[in-house]
Structure 1
Amino acid sequence: MKLYTKTGDGGQTGLYGADRVSKAHIRVEAYGTVDELNSAIGLARAHNGRSHQPHAALDADLEYLQNALFDVGADLATRTGTPYEKNLSRIDAQDVAFIEAMIDRYADGAPPIRNFVHPSGTLTASALHLARAVARRAEREVIRLLHEEEANEQVQIYLNRVSDLLFAMARAANHAAGLQEEQWAVKGRR
């Protein structure tokens, strides 16, 4: 089987259920940004695995997130009300609660936050901060989608929590490495 199909050469792609839409359609933008987020998490996993002290629990949680993001992408690629819905698992409140429990666990792994911090630190933490920013963009794309057509509202909530989780993971990774976070210095206050 060849990797290329040539079916998208005209600027169209297929949603799950055979609907053809523009590759610039807001739904495609949303699940495309989720794919980008998944790749950014893969980069964070690669940095974690190459660090002096890789964190096995962090890697396992990031692998979970990567798998879950494929579910998010499938959710976004399948219009509500199609017969294809029965073939996938929609993101729901239980998925959101699971991420919230992970956030609490990672937040306990760093000192309380009192100021804005720079998105920096170890390579792992920096990659997690980058993934967090992509998660925020994915959330914004889903909000745009929700304004234009019917979609699963839980996906937007889920992506909001994923960005919070990635922030908490980045802070915990820096703390575990013994790095003190750089705080935002308001212009003129040095």
Structure 2
Amino acid sequence: MKIYTKKGDSGETSLFGGTRVPKSNERIEAYGTVDELNSFVGLAASYDLSDAGTNYLRKVQELLFILGADLATPPSSKTRIDRIAAEDVSFLEDAIDHLEENLAPLKNFILPGGSQAGATLHAARTICRRAERAAVACAEADDISQECIKFLNRLSDFLFVIARYENKQAGIREETWKPDRQ
């Protein structure tokens, strides 16, 4: 299979099921941002992580592929694919609860950063928020699963918590935000 097809040279692409849409379409923006997010999660996973972090991020990357396919496939399509489900949101909630057992409760805002893995996970969280905004915009213009939006909302929380967790595992102290203004 060739990597290039030349079918997108006109500025259009195909959704699963064959419908052609402009590459500027809200649906393309949503799943394209999820693809970018998956790359950042992969970057974070390339660093030295805890065993829990490695396992969680591997599962998240698999779920992001499902999410991308879900966003690329209108619910009305006859194409059969796996879709994000309530159990995927529950997986993230359970992971957050598990990781938070090892973290001090937050009393202040913290500055994003820390270890390479932690800082990358904080960057991934911001990309996840952008993906969520893109999915909401897509839902305003087209039919998408509400589970996709719930999943992205919960995933950004997960990425924040796992960034904190990995920084703690690496022995990096969190820097609290203290505004200089009086």
Conserved 8 A contact 2:135-2:149 = yes
d(CA) in 1 for partners of 2:35 and 2:163? 20
Distance in 1 of aligned mates of 2:95 and 2:155: 10
Q: Does 1:72 align with 2:83?
A: no
Unaligned runs of at least 5 residues, structure 1: 49-53
Amino acid at match of 1:4: Y
Structure 2: how far apart are the matches of 1:182 and 1:9?
Answer: 47
Deviations, residues 88-147 of structure 1 (Å, cap 9, x unaligned): 122121111111000111112221111110001000100000000100000000010111
Deviation track 1:141-178 (CA, whole Å, cap 9, x = no partner) reads 00101111111011001001111001000101111122
Distance 2:84 2:2 in 1: 32
CA RMSD for the aligned pairs? 1.0
Residue type of the partner of 1:20? R
Query: Aligned equivalents of 1:152 and 1:188: distance in 2?
Result: 44
Amino acid at match of 2:61: Q
* Equivalences for residues 100-179 of structure 1 within 5 A: 100-179=93-172
1:22, distance to aligned residue in structure 2 (A):
0.4
5+ residue gaps in structure 2?
none
Give the corresponding residue for 2:56. Answer: 61
Are positions 1:92 and 2:85 aligned together? yes
User: Aligned with 1:13: secondary structure?
Assistant: strand
Distance 1:47 1:126 in 2: 11
Distance in 2 of aligned mates of 1:45 and 1:179: 17
Give 1:25's aligned residue: 25
Residue 44 (structure 1) aligns with: 44
The TM-score with structure 2 as length reference comes to 0.97
1:39-92: CA deviation from partner (whole Å, max 9, x where unpaired): 0001101123xxxxx4122111101100100000000000111111xx212212
**Regions of 4+ moved over 2 Å:** none
Amino-acid identity (%) = 43
Preserved CA contact (<8 Å) 2:50 2:169: no
CA distance in 1, matches of 2:138, 2:102: 35
Report the TM-score when normalising by structure 1: 0.93
